[in-house]
Chain A
């Protein structure tokens, strides 16, 4: 048995979590969480950590517009996700919710626009 200390990133509260792991790395228990999402987070974090990526994408208008992954992507793929987004150009009329990449860096996750106007 092994203990691992984590900071929950699900909400701004940032609960300090203590995770007890079994021999095979399986999560046996989670303490310190204020809500059940803490358990979910700790379980994923100890097995296959995931993150939401927020960034910008080039826009046809010459400026940039903000985007995010529609849900979390594997943490180790963050830079592959960035590379894919950086190769992409959003159309001029992009608005919140528009999908600009359906499957970013083979994660099965889409990238969506998060603003209603591009900035130049």
Chain B
């Protein structure tokens, strides 16, 4: 059998998770037919396949679904539309000319020349090494997501006596999950004075099971030669340095880490696309188009989202914009830069080129109570929105109207006041 190893395709989507599938469906529904999804795993669905808890889809489908159910909704849409996808296919290269090199066992190494590309590779967890915790390096240290895969996908228990460092949502979810499967979670330590997880998860994953959340605490040392035997935790001061007199030893066989997610942008970097230092994702315009025309990004590869519903929403924007690009229908202005004051950490998009109502997502850098979100055009305040509470763990958004964009100077500034 001779396979053609140089394929042409109008729209290639890298990643068949919630972002990639939603982008494909949106592009199809906008009338495009020549679409190909490349997925490295053996099934569509991405990380949702192992997120068996519920809480997905309230915005998108108006009901509460589990991760696999949410993914299946989109997989059904992809299959109904007969959108082509390749599984077990790893993209190993992306050029600035939108040529993709990929590999799978049917075709070997092959290239796809794409009219447009949507990056939807998702994100990964911050590993232990990056945290610089002192002590030994025994078995029993896992990122929460790795433990989630062992428990939910493989059906194995990575430990029974657990301490969790970091209160990201996956860590909170795994605290409950391990507890349900008979493990004892001794504590969740959070370096910051607030949790990066959703309030509902602290309630239903920790409080329901009397698992203590220790804010301003960290793990200072790992003990154990072969398997983890315990960890030393300590409270931290205002500059996040451990306070020696508060050190306390907790015997345990497992340390789970939930210390942040990092967009996986290796291919993006390879193509020479400009990245945002804060989000670790590409710099994009309102269409989610990067600085290489015809290359778009959406989902957690662009910036880490709290809710998959927002991922789908963003992917739809990218999918539809890719179709406009392919058809030569994309309308652009000179480009307005969105700037931030530091309290607002970043915005996505970072610039706006199309003249249309545009929803801008952003995150704040600390917990703020009773503050205003302010958007200025030069000195002039164009949006001022009061919020009871703003937290780094919760993504915020404001909508810039077509009129605001039309009237804007070179940049619009975002601040918390």
Contact = CB atoms under 8 A, between A and B. Distances in A.
A52 B55 CA distance: 10
Contacts of A66: 52, 66, 68, 152
A9 interface: yes
Nearest to A16: B199
Given A114-B52, A116-B68, 18 more contacts: A7-B199, A7-B200, A9-B204, A12-B55, A12-B200, A14-B198, A16-B199, A52-B64, A54-B52, A63-B154, A63-B155, A64-B152, A64-B154, A82-B180, A82-B181, A115-B72, A119-B152, A120-B154
B73 to A, nearest CB: 9
B306 interface: yes
B248 interface: no
A14 B69 contact: no
Contacts of A78: 180, 208
Contacts of B198: 12, 14
The majority secondary structure among interface residues of chain B is helix
B219 to A, nearest CB: 26
Interface string A50-80: 0111111010000110101000000100110
Interface string B143-155: 0000000011111
A14 B199 contact: yes
Nearest to B58: A11
Contacts, number: 83
10 contacts: A10-B200, A12-B58, A12-B306, A16-B199, A52-B64, A58-B155, A63-B154, A96-B68, A115-B52, A115-B69
A74 to B, nearest CB: 12
A64 B157 CA distance: 13
Nearest to A32: B388
Most A C-beta atoms less than 10 A away, residue of B55, B64, B152, B155: B155
A111 to B, nearest CB: 12
A61 B58 CA distance: 32
B203 interface: yes
B307 interface: yes
Interface in B43-94: 43, 49, 52-55, 58, 64, 66, 68-69, 72, 75
A119 B154 contact: yes
B369 to A, nearest CB: 11
A14 B200 contact: yes
A78 B307 CA distance: 26
Given A82-B180, A115-B72, A117-B43, A54 B66 contact: yes
Given A63-B155, A64-B155, A114-B69, A55 B54 contact: no
A68 B199 contact: no
Interface residues of A, number: 32
A6 to B, nearest CB: 8
Nearest to B207: A7
A96 B69 contact: yes
A114 B50 CA distance: 11
B58 A55 contact: no
Nearest to B56: A12
B202 interface: yes
A90 interface: no
A8 interface: yes
Contacts of A56: 52, 151-152, 155
A20 B203 CA distance: 19
A53 B75 CA distance: 24
B183 to A, nearest CB: 12
Nearest to A58: B155
Contacts of A6: 203
Contacts of A114: 52, 66, 68-69
A78 B376 CA distance: 51
Contacts of B43: 117
A7 to B, nearest CB: 4
Interface in B143-181: 151-155, 177, 180-181
A54 B204 contact: no
A96 B180 contact: no
Interface string B294-313: 00000000000011000000
Most chain B C-beta atoms within 10 Å of own C-beta, residue among A10, A52, A53, A115: A115
Closest 7 CB pairs of A and B: A14-B199, A66-B52, A115-B68, A64-B155, A9-B200, A7-B203, A14-B200
A75 B69 CA distance: 23
Contacts of B69: 96, 114-115
A79 to B, nearest CB: 8
B68 A51 contact: no
